[in-house]
Chain A
Amino acid sequence: MDLRFTAADDAFRAEVRDWLGEHLRGEFAELGGAGGPGREHEGLETRMAWERELGAGGWIGLELAPEHGGRGATLIQQVIFAEEYARAGAPARVNHVGEHLLVPTVAAFGSEEQRQRFLPPILRGEELWCQGYSEPGAGSDLAAVRTRARLEDGRWRIDGQKVWTSLAAHADWCFVIARSEPGSERHRGLAYLLVPMRQPGVEVRPIIQITGTSEFSEVFFEDAETDAANIVGAPGEGWKVAMGTLGFERGVATLAQQIGFERELEAVIASARESGAIADPAIEERLVDAWIELRTMRYQALRTLSSPAGESASISKLLWAPWHQRLGELAIDIAGPEATLVGEAYELGGEQALFLYTRSDTIYAGSNEIQRNIIAERMLGLPRG
């Protein structure tokens, strides 16, 4: 047990810091932390250009082996990069779904041809991805998906509807779970398909959220096509591949996310000082609690790095999602009556956006109730209902 960074780690940190110092300039620096939660729509074009800058620097998919275009970065190096990135106040990443969900999936389950085709454009920051999992009738119960795929004349043809798809309006590709065996049920008979978004058979309709903004969309597939080769794993193995994607969380993303939380909390503390709200003992208590809990989440994430367990992602989510919600509540309480007013076109201030957007934290990526089931059944061994 040694919780310090090594000299090699420090050298890597210096490299990251130098690179960011040199490249995060001009229009990129002006973006600030744009694109955070509830603000995915901000400065998208410049952020895409920034993604390409990152890609050229070799900072996308840095954990991949050199033969797949990565740096073979260790977990700790990934953490260091994420920490420095967040500390530099660099723009929110656009292609999280591609880099952190699709890349490890293709690296682990894909064919060599698929790796050659799909990894490099993500690593260069050129191709954007979205995730086609949830459906109107398959939210928490993902195995209830009804989107169908059939192989015809060397093409997969896809019909169905996906929902809560982030970035769908901008994505080039979507990874889709669809039922490839007619009449199959639940986890069997599913396929994990890679589907181009820009084609006549795909229609995207944005969902206006409680924030008045739109990060998520509905995606309709009507005789949409993709090449027969664009399936990861064998037909019928889609569930295994999809669950693999969810299992890639090993604490790195959590630690990166926490740096963002730290900045949000600092801003909330600063506003409480500025407004004098910190003199209210109840506010003071909530601020201290938030600070303590964020620390404990960091220790938890660090321990997860060293000994990942299948349930650690669920534990992490049960900790951070309610924490983030409470931070949003605290932020708007500190803002007081002024936070009851919005802009002409319902533009929100930071504390209003945080307060509203964080309601989604306990719902998306597996609702917290689902996470509780996972912990109860897989970690504690309690019987299924």
Chain B
Amino acid sequence: MDFSFNQDQQDLREAIRAFLDRHAGPAAVRVAIEDDDAFAREPWARLVGEMELTSLAIDLERGGAGAGFVEVGIALEELGRTLLPVPYLGTVAAAGAIADAEAAGAEAAPALAERIVAGAVAAVAIDEPAPEAAAAVAAGELRLDGVATHVLDGAHAELLVLAAELDGEPALLAVELNAEGVSVEPQKTLDQARGQATVRMAGAPAVRLSAPGDGGAAVARAGQRLAIAQALESVGAASRCLRVTVEYLKERVQFGRPIGSFQALKHRCADLAAELEAARSTAYYAGWAVDGAPEELPVLAPMARAVCGEALLRVAGESIQMHGGIGFTWEHDAHLYFKRAKASELLAGGFRAQRRLVGTRGGIVGASR
């Protein structure tokens, strides 16, 4: 029983944080949001090329680093702190689904894993709202029709891993986004630091990742990894948001003293810190369980997503309040965290719904045990 990160993992965190401090500060985030349609291309190229963050958990045989989800989680948390607009979440969620498929013997998987190692950006459409797409074999080739909405970072991806119907059952498929028959329509988003796209497919060529009969389970596993990835991101974002708020409370003077000396504010910060630490522990446990205890994921994934997402929502809302007027401005970063928090909740179908899933899957309520 050991809940601590080993030296390599700590070094990884240090390296990522140092890189992000240097190349992805608040100014870089703003530039990417305002001038570059929510894609920090230069930092991304280095995160992928030099730091090889997207291939962390990809098998050594495919050219990856052969690490696990705990390492990916460290990267997610650190990137989450900055809100740097890069398509990391979708790419590692896709990479995880591809690795899962390779383990189950999917023919298409090894080449896709190598593409990601080579720097391909991927997106996923496996979550709520579920894509409305169906695939069928026509003239010996798998073709896909339908639409996937709210695809995170879809405009910057070349590969999409999605849930679709095939032979009357759910299946996990991959489609090339620059192929004929695919159109990608970028959307303007409330969360300025994360773009979305609507992907329309009409006879688009696709490859199958899930084995017949295992499609529903493969989609579920991919969704659980995505949920836990978001939990880790949220913990990172909430940590930075609380840290920035606390620093402000130490500096801002009113009534002749730093406002952080008032218990009305101190006690709220302490409550937020306690909630955040519990959320962090939950996210770390869930991140470990992805490889270490996959049988726990059906309960852990919605739990981590809700608990960590709620912590971010609360911290971000309180951050605006405790900053006072400046926290309400466009100029200040507080709203970026607040918007990320709410968008994450809405795209989860509501945290209350995630909690209900825990209730039924955990056997606390309802018939499904």
Contact = CB atoms under 8 A, between A and B. Distances in A.
Contact of A292 (B1, B2, B260, B303): B303
Main secondary structure of the interface of A (DSSP, over half): helix
A2 B2 contact: yes
B328 interface: no
Interface string B289-316: 1001100000000010011000000000
Contacts of B267: 369, 372-373, 376
Contacts of A282: none
A118 interface: no
Interface of A: 1-6, 9, 76, 79, 269, 278, 284-285, 287-289, 291-293, 295-297, 299-300, 302-303, 305-307, 314-315, 318-319, 369, 371-377, 379-385
A287 B282 CA distance: 19
Nearest to A265: B364
B261 A384 contact: yes
B307 A300 contact: no
A194 to B, nearest CB: 34
Contacts of A293: 278
Contacts of A385: 261-263, 266
Interface in B199-221: none
A383 B258 contact: yes
B358 A288 contact: yes
B250 A3 contact: no
Contacts of A379: 273
Contacts of A297: 278
A382 B249 contact: yes
Nearest to B2: A2
Given A296-B279, A380-B269, A382-B261, A1 B364 contact: no
A292 B355 CA distance: 8
A289 B355 contact: yes
Contacts of B289: 3
Contact of B3 (A3, A295, A372, A381): A3
Interface in B1-50: 1-6, 9
Interface in B307-331: 307
Interface of B: 1-6, 9, 70, 246, 249-250, 257-258, 260-263, 265-267, 269-271, 273-274, 277-282, 284-285, 288-289, 292-293, 303, 306-307, 352, 355-356, 358-359, 362, 364-365
Contacts of B249: 382
Contacts of B365: 278, 284, 287-288
Contact of B4 (A289, A306, A381, A384): A306
A296 B2 contact: no
B273 A315 contact: yes
Interface centre among A269, A278, A289, A296 (most CB of B within 10 A): A296
Given A3-B1, A9-B1, A381-B246, 4 more contacts: A288-B356, A299-B282, A315-B274, A315-B278
Nearest to A289: B355
A269 B364 CA distance: 8
Given A1-B288, A307-B4, A295 B260 contact: no
A23 B119 CA distance: 63
A129 B360 CA distance: 45
A189 B359 CA distance: 54
Given A278-B365, A303-B3, A372-B266, A3 B273 contact: no
B21 to A, nearest CB: 20
A382 B3 contact: no
A274 to B, nearest CB: 14
Nearest to A288: B359
Contacts of B265: 382
B271 A372 contact: yes
B3 A305 contact: yes
B107 to A, nearest CB: 33
B281 A296 contact: yes
A255 B265 CA distance: 30
A380 B266 CA distance: 9
B235 to A, nearest CB: 12
Given A76-B1, A319-B274, A299 B285 contact: yes
B277 A1 contact: no
Given A1-B4, A296-B307, A318 B364 contact: no
A289 B306 CA distance: 11
Nearest to A3: B288
